[in-house]
Amino acid sequence: MPDEASPLAALDVPFGQFATWLEEAMASEPNDANAMVLATATPDGRPSARTVLLKGWDQDGFVFYTNTLSRKGGELAANRHACLLFHWKSRRRQIRIEGPVVDATAAEADAYFASRPRISRLGAHASDQSRPLPARAVLEARLAEAEARFPGEDIPRPDYWSGYRVVPAVIEFWQDMPFRLHDRSVYTRLDQRGDGAAWSVQKLFP
């Protein structure tokens, strides 16, 4: 936990600890310290997982962006719960976050989309994410078509490209310790609807 002298100490638990660990990971990980595994599931419980990038967070949740017609988008449309996992190997730490998922606002999605590199924005128009691709040349041709269609910087966000916010109901911090006697602390939001700011904390056996 941040000490009282740290500016992070003013943040509510468990977000102060998350901020501290993320900041430390940004300083030590060789790349993509904001990478997180996103686990989703179908309504009948068939899971899938992939790595995405955290693009924003606050006490209301953890935000990522994607093609909403992708596999993960389809699963989130049918089952509005997900799990996130940060694993910072160099720091021997993990954070696991569980909770319901809500859509980012159109304004949030527009603002982030506009901040992306031009080729990434064009790629959102060119790619039918998660669908079969006959050959790499097909993607390259579609990218060229998108470049011709949008020759300047004014590239609109596709309707099917947006963001999701995982609203934390449970956050677990895991720190590697010698002889596998790891330190684990799990925070549970007392108001599971997500309206309240109060959390309980419980240590777990490793």
Span 135-145, pLDDT tens digits: 999 999 999 99
User: Which residues are marked as active site?
Assistant: 180
Question: What residue ranges do the domains of the chain occupy?
Answer: 7-114+160-204
Cβ contacts of 86-90, under 8 Å, gap ≥ 24: 86/21, 86/22, 86/25, 86/35, 86/36, 86/37, 86/54, 87/37, 88/21, 88/25, 88/28, 88/29, 88/33, 89/29, 90/25, 90/28, 90/29, 90/30
Residue at token pair 């041709």: 141
Amino acid at the residue 138: V
Q: What is the DSSP string of 80-107?
A: -EEEEEEEEGGGTEEEEEEEEEEEPPHH
Interhelix angle 136-149/118-126, nearest 10 degrees: 120
Helix (H, G, I), strand (E, B) or coil at 46: coil
What is the pTM assigned to this prediction? 0.90
The list of the chain residues with pLDDT below 70 reads: 1-12, 192-197
CATH number of 7-114+160-204: 2.30.110.10
Q: What angle do CA 82, 54, 203 make, to 5 degrees?
A: 60
At 193 the pLDDT is 59
At 191 the pLDDT is 79
